[in-house]
Amino acid sequence: MKIQEVLQEKVTEAINAIYGITLPSVEFQPTRKDFEGDVTVVVFPMLRHVKGNPVQIGEQVGAYLVKELDIVTSFNVVKGFLNLVISDAFYLSFFNKIQNDTAFGLVAPSDDAILVEYSSPNTNKPLHLGHIRNNLLGYSVAEILKASGKKVYKTQIINDRGIHICKSMLAWQRFGNGETPENTGLKGDKLVGNYYVAFDKAYKEEVAKLVDDGVEKKQAEKEAPILLEAQQMLLKWEAGDADVVALWKKMNGWVYKGFDTTYKNLGVDFDSYLYESDTYLLGKDVVADGIKNGVFYKKEDGSVWIDLTDEGLDEKIVLRSDGTAVYMTQDIGTAIQRVKDHSDINGMVYTVGNEQDYHFRVLFLILKKLGFTWADKLFHLSYGMVDLPSGKMKSREGTVVDADDLMEQMTQTAGSISEELGKLENYSEEEKQSLYKMIGLGALKYYILKVDPKKRILFNPEESVDFQGNTGPFIQYTYARIQSILRKAKDTNVVWENETTVVALHPKEKELIKQLEVFPDTIQLAAENYSPAVIANFTYDLVREFNSLYQQVSILGETDEDKKALRVQLSYKVGEVIKTAFRLLGISVPERM
């Protein structure tokens, strides 16, 4: 049984015995470092039920607990706080229980399934830093949900059709001279992205020329020939024009290959994909039914709307006057399709930036009004933008931090730091490169995931991501250090796999076990809040606690064999927890660094 449950029961019992009153609940918190004790009972909330002086109540309850419970060895009362000292025996017994539990903290997957959507890029340009945050968040939340006991499907919907890809296609036709990823050596998504930029340049030139000729700017922006041509191309695509479709397939193929490389480097994956070209017509039937049910209504021009003013929102269009689908139509269809495809799911998570908060509020509300009971189980995992000091990133203007470049740069930085420290004499060049990548990406991922998803991130490319302090490499370093201890322990035949027989703990050892103890709750908390940051902060605290122990006491130099074994055991367990926690963040840990 957990310590809080035991204490809860006994504190209630104590109050009942002394005052004859049954408390509905008892409030606990970890004792602050400046006071003696491990667990603190907050007496103040009891005053609502028990009349008396908080200090006196604390004293009485404390005395009762010490008498009745072996695990409470002593207590002190400060104001309304009853600080309890918990026996070493309790922590030792807890540690004995978990030390060989390879699934410590994890809950076995149940039938409670959930679908997590993330990434979902457009196919006309390469992935950038904004996508990195999306991917890391979505992947990590999926892993955390899995660890918390859910069955998880990772998926994404690829926006492979629309005017944006037509722009790249048109520019490539016009200026491309037959360039391909093969004959240029460029990554496919980069090549296609270049033509998206080329389109924008040509378009702006045409607009400027029209304006020079006396056309109104707004008019010119609508009438630039190259834009009209791109719109024509989209119509042809929708009509199934063979040439256009062939070009579309070819260029999307290049992009997918490029994306695959980026995803692989980033270490994210998916269980299934949906393509907008397959789903963009879904939802139209639903809209038709919705009109019959009176959920939607048709305007004179034929466009279809929903009135959400009663819910404090606006009117929203769900079908154009020409009968074509809008974004919302497609999302309605996609949601329904997903429920059909995964009959076991009990919820969906959409990892999409907070600029679309309104869209998802409307989407969920529409689905609810349409009578889908699962609409209540949808969650928009909304996250803040990644901005540069110069402002927002814009692909068309080339002010983006490219995902591949950033990963490469992080890897190089990790490499130069490593070289400088020079701890890897007997590593091959290949091993070194893979380690640098692990560290560089660890720094990047941790940097992004440690902040609350809701918050905006300001990314300054000039000031490189740190490798010291509260960072990924710091935690990886601690893991590597532990592995070094374990290797040496093995070499010197330290036996540490058995239950410990030590009876008294060093204060630092106790602190470390206390931190290990909260790991399972931390995973649940992270899952409830869809927040990898919770895991990151926990891991950082654990590592700091370990490093403090490491500097203060000798592990392998300990002369008492039992104590030495316990410290090795503890090191091992801390290493395992770091590894598990980092796996939930999508970060690998090295044997050496």
Site membership for RNA, residue 496 (CB under 7 A): no
Within 385-414, the residues that bind RNA by CB under 7 A are: 385, 392, 414
Site membership for RNA, residue 467 (CB under 7 A): yes
Kind and range of the H or E element at 347?
strand 345-353
Site membership for RNA, residue 74 (CB under 7 A): no
Site membership for RNA, residue 466 (CB under 7 A): yes
Within 336-355, the residues that bind RNA by CB under 7 A are: 354-355
Strand partners, 81: 42, 78
From first CA to last CA, the distance across the chain in angstroms is 39
d(CA 557, CA 559): 6
Site membership for RNA, residue 3 (CB under 7 A): no
Judged by beta carbon, residue 369 or residue 592, the one nearer RNA is: 592
Q: Please name the amino acid found at residue 502.
A: V
Nearest to 158 by CA among 242, 263, 228, 238: 263
Extract the tokens encoding 590.
């090295």
Judged by beta carbon, residue 51 or residue 79, the one nearer RNA is: 79
Within 555-574, the residues that bind RNA by CB under 7 A are: 555-557
396, burial (CB in 10 Å: exposed 0-12, middle 13-18, buried 19+): middle
User: Which residues are CB-neighbours of 430 under 8 A, at least 6 positions away?
Assistant: none
Judged by beta carbon, residue 71 or residue 345, the one nearer RNA is: 71
d(CA 38, CA 511): 9
Within 514-533, the residues that bind RNA by CB under 7 A are: 525, 529, 533
- One residue of 71, 247, 349, 480 binding RNA per CB under 7 A: 480
Within 269-288, the residues that bind RNA by CB under 7 A are: 276
Cα-flanking dihedrals φ and ψ of residue 379, to 5°? -135, 130
Judged by beta carbon, residue 177 or residue 551, the one nearer RNA is: 551
Site membership for RNA, residue 431 (CB under 7 A): no
* Among the residue ranges 74-82, 167-175, 338-346, 397-405, the one whose residues contact RNA (CB under 7 A): 74-82
- Angle CA(515)–CA(506)–CA(546) in degrees, nearest 5? 40
The footprint of RNA on this chain (CB under 7 A) covers a number of residues equal to 94
Site membership for RNA, residue 80 (CB under 7 A): yes
* Among the residue ranges 73-81, 90-98, 144-152, 370-378, the one whose residues contact RNA (CB under 7 A): 73-81
- One residue of 162, 176, 461, 520 binding RNA per CB under 7 A: 162
Q: Got the DSSP string for 448-504?
A: HHTS-TTS-EE--SSSPPPSSSSSHHHHHHHHHHHHHHHHHHHHTT---SSPP----
Least distance between RNA and beta carbon 490 (Å): 12
Q: Got the DSSP string for 271-311?
A: SEEEEHHHHTTTTHHHHHHHHHHTSSEE-TTS-EEEE-GGG
Whether 116 and 138 have beta carbons less than 8 Å apart is answered as yes
Cα-flanking dihedrals φ and ψ of residue 39, to 5°? -125, 140
Site membership for RNA, residue 550 (CB under 7 A): yes
Within 291-330, the residues that bind RNA by CB under 7 A are: 299, 301, 303, 312, 314, 317, 320-322, 325-327, 330
- One residue of 232, 356, 434, 524 binding RNA per CB under 7 A: 356
Q: Please name the amino acid found at residue 503.
A: V
Site membership for RNA, residue 554 (CB under 7 A): yes
Cα-flanking dihedrals φ and ψ of residue 555, to 5°? -90, -60
What does the per-residue mask of binding to RNA show for 235-274, with x meaning CB under 7 A? ----------------------------------------
- One residue of 4, 16, 21, 32 binding RNA per CB under 7 A: 32
Site membership for RNA, residue 119 (CB under 7 A): no
Within 47-66, the residues that bind RNA by CB under 7 A are: 47
Q: What share of the chain is helix, strand, coil (3-state, %, to 5)?
A: 55, 15, 30
